[in-house]
Amino acid sequence: MIITIDHLSFSSSSFQNDIDSLKNFGYNVLHQNELLENLQNKKLFLKNFSPTQKFCLLTLDNQISIEVLEYDEKFHTKSFMKPHIAISKLSKSKFLNNFNFEVHTNEKNSSNGLNLFQIDLLTNNLAKSTQFWESFGFKKEIQSNSNSLSMNFLSPLSNQTVKLHLILDTNQNHYKLLDYVGFNCLAFISTSIQNEKSNLESKNILTSEIQSLQIGQTIFDIFFCKSETGEIVEIIQPTKTNS
Task: Please answer whether residues 119 and 79 qualify as being in contact, where contact means their C-beta atoms are separated by less than 8 angstroms.
Answer: no
Q: Give the structural domain span for 194.
A: 2-241
Q: Rounded to the nearest 5°, which phi and psi values hold at 234? A: -110, 135
Separation in Å, CA 232 to CA 80, 147, 176, 215: 11, 21, 8, 21
Count of structural domains within the chain: 1
For 56-83, give one letter per residue: b (16+ CB within 10 A) or e. bbbbbeebbbbbbbbbeeeeeeebbbbb
Look at residue 112 and tell me whether its pLDDT is greater than 60.
no
Query: pLDDT tens for residues 93-107?
Result: 555 566 767 777 776
Query: pLDDT tens for residues 140-174?
Result: 998 878 899 999 999 888 777 899 999 999 999 88
**Nearest CA-CA partner of 180 in 94, 75, 109:** 75
Q: In whole angstroms, what is the distance from residue 162 CA to residue 133 CA?
A: 12
Show Cβ contacts of residue 13 under 8 Å, excluding neighbours closer than 6 positions: 70, 74, 76, 181
Strand, helix or coil for residue 97:
coil
In angstroms, what is the C-alpha Rg of the chain? 17
DSSP states along 44-73: GG-SS--SEEEEEEEE-TTS-EEEEEE-SS
Look at residue 35 and tell me whether its pLDDT is greater than 90.
yes
Query: pLDDT tens for residues 204-240?
Result: 999 999 999 999 999 999 999 999 999 999 999 999 8
Task: Give the domain CATH number at 113.
Answer: 3.10.180.10
Query: pLDDT tens for residues 82-93?
Result: 988 877 665 655
Give the pLDDT confidence score for residue 79 in this predicted structure.
86
Q: In whole angstroms, what is the distance from residue 91 CA to residue 45 CA?
A: 36
**Nearest CA-CA partner of 126 in 114, 140, 113:** 140
Separation in Å, CA 58 to CA 26, 63, 146: 10, 10, 36
pLDDT-wise least confident of 48-62, 64-78, 151-165:
151-165
